Amino acid sequence: MPRPSRWNEIVEAAAEAFRTNGFAATSLEDIASAVGIWKGSLYHYINSKEDLLFAVVRGPAEEILKQIQELSETDLPPTEKIRRATRSHVKVLESNFVYASVYLQEIAGRRKLPEWTAMDREYLDLLESIVREGVESGEFSAVTNPRIATLALIGSLNWLTHWYRPGGPLHADEISDQFCDLFLGGLIVRTPRSKSKPNQKAATPSPTVTPLKTTKPRAKRTA
């Protein structure tokens, strides 16, 4: 991967085009003309079109993983870990918005290259182990399935690429704080009631309406 000045322009133009039209629907001519060169000239910087995709995507992918790796090595209480993980996730998404959007749309979807799926998996596992830590310490007593809770948080965060706009009215810090408050505390401020009964349905304080089939008896299913 070369280093000269035009290279940054090229990667930025590629990222912008990939985000708007998708990788497959973006032609090298689109990128070249955005920079002001001929499409053949791109091959002094790349060996194939896919090189551009990886160049766009590598930065934020490695950054976001590094952040949670460092966080996992601390001994902060789980609540604080979740708060900081949420913040750094939103921060990386904001600071590298176009790049990160391309990653989530083109890599985290479709492509199954083992290098990237391993990174996704490691990130998920580290975040889940934080949640699990909170469950075991008794702080997250409302969680029944740590993996689902973790995936819910990751979903909220990554979905930012579908609606967040840099320079828009919502600041990243504001968003991450509210996400974190919501994830940790939920919508409802519970009335002090069943303390020693960590019921699965403890979060539902409205008995006004008969619920329609709370939880089906599950069919057994392994793996």
As measured in angstroms, the least distance from the Cβ of 2 to its own copies is: 27
Cβ-based nearer residue to its own copies, 4 or 136:
136
With beta carbons less than 8 A apart as the criterion, state whether 21 and 98 touch: no
Q: Does 222 bind DNA (CB under 7 A)?
A: no
Q: Does 74 bind DNA (CB under 7 A)?
A: no
- Choose among its own copies, DNA, none what residue 6 binds, the Cβ cut-off being 5 to 8 Å by kind: DNA
78 vs 18, 70, 127, 133, CA distance in Å?
Answer: 37, 14, 10, 7
User: Interaction with DNA in 19-38: which residues (CB under 7 A)?
Assistant: 26-29, 36-38
Cβ-based nearer residue to DNA, 49 or 147:
49
As measured in angstroms, the least distance from the Cβ of 4 to its own copies is: 31
As measured in angstroms, the least distance from the Cβ of 14 to DNA is: 11
Give the Cα separation of 166 and 4 in Å (integer). 27
Cβ-based nearer residue to its own copies, 3 or 213:
213
With beta carbons less than 8 A apart as the criterion, state whether 106 and 53 touch: yes
Stretch that binds DNA, among 46-54, 132-140, 159-167, 172-180 (CB under 7 A): 46-54
Q: Determine the residue type at 200.
A: Q
Of 178, 15, 179, 35, the closest CA to residue 102 belongs to 15
CA angle 24, 27, 33 (to 5 degrees): 150
With beta carbons less than 8 A apart as the criterion, state whether 56 and 99 touch: yes
Binding interface with DNA (CB under 7 A): 2, 4, 6, 26-29, 36-45, 47-50
